[in-house]
Amino acid sequence: MIPTLSSRPHHHPRELPVDLVKTIIAYREKYRRCAEVIHWHLEKDGYIVSLSSVKQTLKRNHLTYPSPWKKWHHYTPRPVPESPGKLVQIDTIMDGAPEDRIYIYTLLDVCCRWAYAEPSLYVRAGRSALILKHAQHASPFVFATIQSDHGSEFSKYFKKKAIEMGMEHRHSRVRTPTDNAHLERFNRTIQDECLCHIPRRLSVYQKEIPEFIRYYNYERPHMSLGMQTPMEVLRSY
């Protein structure tokens, strides 16, 4: 009995010809450029091939290299905010045109919603660390983890200072807006209920923002807290 041979094709019907694959590799070795540039040279020389095919060919032959400018972010596990201080978020609000801008640093404890805010004429990592120190001094509880976005004002120097203050610093995940959702909501609240109703001057902000923060923490009922204030929730711990 003669065994039946498989009719399965040995190559994918859309597979690039061997000669074209060799040409792509040769162009890569010759020009030492990215897939887009190699694809341009191939088309210029009369070869018909798609950019995606060039990229796939380079990848299969291990001829792609990671960008030296691309940053790979390592994220520590997000702590569960089961008690005050476990997870405190920090951010900045930009108010006004670049030539006349005032920045407002904002912090919020995810557990009890205790908040802190302070205006500034500039943002720097050193300034961020100083305001974090001010917030910790004003807080009735200790900050264990501080979470920020990837802004330059929360860079390595800020992390170093946070660690010196006994805190862990973690970044919110890229393209994950829910990571800082509680603080984003507070940022809208302070703008709607405070900043929009006062003159935009640093001296005014320095007077009015602390008064609003006191009202926010001690008097303003929060629907998310069952109509309690942050300080009422804090006293239950």
- Phi and psi at residue 154, to the nearest 5°: -120, 40
Residue 81 is assigned to a structural domain of this protein: no
Residue 8 has pLDDT above 70, yes or no: no
H-helix or E-strand spanning residue 89: strand 88-95
What's the CA gap between 57 and 19, in Å, rounded?
12
**Co-location of 30 and 92 in the same domain:** no
**Co-location of 54 and 116 in the same domain:** no
**Co-location of 98 and 23 in the same domain:** no
Q: Which residue has the higher pLDDT, 176 or 27?
A: 27
- Average pLDDT estimate for 49-73: 78
| DSSP character at residue 179 | G
Number of neighbouring beta carbons within 10 Å of residue 224: 10
Residue 72 is assigned to a structural domain of this protein: no
> In terms of residues, how long is the chain?
237
What CATH number has the domain bearing residue 157?
A: 3.30.420.10
Q: Is the pTM higher than 0.95?
A: no
Q: Model confidence over 105-150: pLDDT tens digits? A: 999 999 999 999 999 999 999 999 999 999 999 999 999 999 999 8
Residue 64 has pLDDT above 70, yes or no: yes
Confidence of residue 77 (pLDDT cuts 50, 70, 90): confident
**Co-location of 145 and 40 in the same domain:** no
Confidence of residue 156 (pLDDT cuts 50, 70, 90): very high
Residue 76 is assigned to a structural domain of this protein: no
Exposure class string for 117-144: b at 16+ Cβ within 10 A, else e: bbbbeebebebbbebbeebbeebebebb
Domain count, the chain: 2
What's the CA gap between 68 and 73, in Å, rounded?
14
- Name the range with the highest mean pLDDT among 63-72, 178-187, 203-212: 203-212
**Co-location of 161 and 199 in the same domain:** yes
Question: What percent of the chain is modeled with pLDDT above 70?
Answer: 88
Residue 10 is assigned to a structural domain of this protein: no
**Co-location of 56 and 108 in the same domain:** no
**Co-location of 223 and 113 in the same domain:** yes
**Co-location of 56 and 128 in the same domain:** no
| DSSP character at residue 80 | P
* 88-95 vs 145-148, strand pairing mode: parallel
Residue 3 is assigned to a structural domain of this protein: no
* Res 205: pLDDT: 98
**Co-location of 113 and 196 in the same domain:** yes
**Co-location of 216 and 111 in the same domain:** yes
Residue 147 is assigned to a structural domain of this protein: yes
* Res 197: pLDDT: 96
Residue 69 is assigned to a structural domain of this protein: no
Structural domain containing residue 48? 18-60
**Co-location of 110 and 199 in the same domain:** yes
| DSSP character at residue 83 | S
**Co-location of 120 and 200 in the same domain:** yes
Query: Could you tell me the CA-to-CA distances from 1 to 4, 5, 8, 96, 148 in Å, in that order?
Result: 9, 12, 21, 87, 73
Residue 92 is assigned to a structural domain of this protein: yes
- The DSSP code sequence of 133-178 is HHHHHH-SS---EEEE-S-GGGSHHHHHHHHHTT-EEEEPPTT-GG
The amino acid at 97: A
